[in-house]
Amino acid sequence: MTHRHEKGFTFIELLVVIILLSLIAAVIVPRTFKSMGKAKSKIARTKMNIIESAIQQFYVDCERYPTDLSELLEAPADVEEKWSGRYCKPSDLMDPWDNPYLYEPEGLVNVGSYDLISLGADGQEGGDADNADIYNE
């Protein structure tokens, strides 16, 4: 009588591997999503820097600040001869959550200047963590 030695995993071994993989996933996945939120906030600030540079170039060329961000893309009638745009790409005016940046020419946070605002992941005013509003500095 010969015994066959089958190679493979027992049900218990497979169950242990599945449990271990589930535990690892339960720890790693939330950390990954948390770091993705931080990365989007950093991207939002980087894009704000691009918009700030575009606003400053608009100011140099047109001798005034834009009244809204669309003036970075299309020449306003009153400064058409001075306008040297497009000062940025339309995609630069969208935050990482695909919401448009808000522009306040009379800054409330940056008094004496202008505010650029991303409303965060939720697209609503206020919030915390990933939903927190992000302002230019």
First-to-last alpha carbon distance for the chain, in angstroms, is 82
- Return the pLDDT at 100: 95
pTM: 0.72
Pick from 78, 84, 92: nearest CA to 44: 92
Sheet bearing 115-118, strands edge to edge? 102-104, 115-118, 134-135
Across the chain, the runs of DSSP E, i.e. the strands, are: 102-104, 115-118, 134-135
- Return the pLDDT at 66: 96
Phi and psi dihedrals of 80, rounded to 5?
-55, -40
**Structural domain spans, the chain:** 35-135
Pick from 40, 60, 48, 56: nearest CA to 116: 48
Q: What is the pLDDT of residues 60-109, one digit of tens each?
A: 999 999 999 999 999 999 999 999 989 999 999 999 999 999 999 988 88
Flag the least confident range among 1-5, 47-51, 66-70, 102-106. 1-5
Cα distance between residue 33 and residue 37, in whole Å: 6
- Return the pLDDT at 11: 85
Residue identified by tokens 């589930």 is 22
Q: What is the pLDDT of residues 7-42, one digit of tens each?
A: 777 888 888 888 888 888 887 777 766 666 678 889
Residue identified by tokens 């493979």 is 8
Any bridge partners for residue 116, and if so which? 103
CATH fourth-level superfamily of 35-135: Glycoprotein, Type 4 Pilin (3.30.700.10)
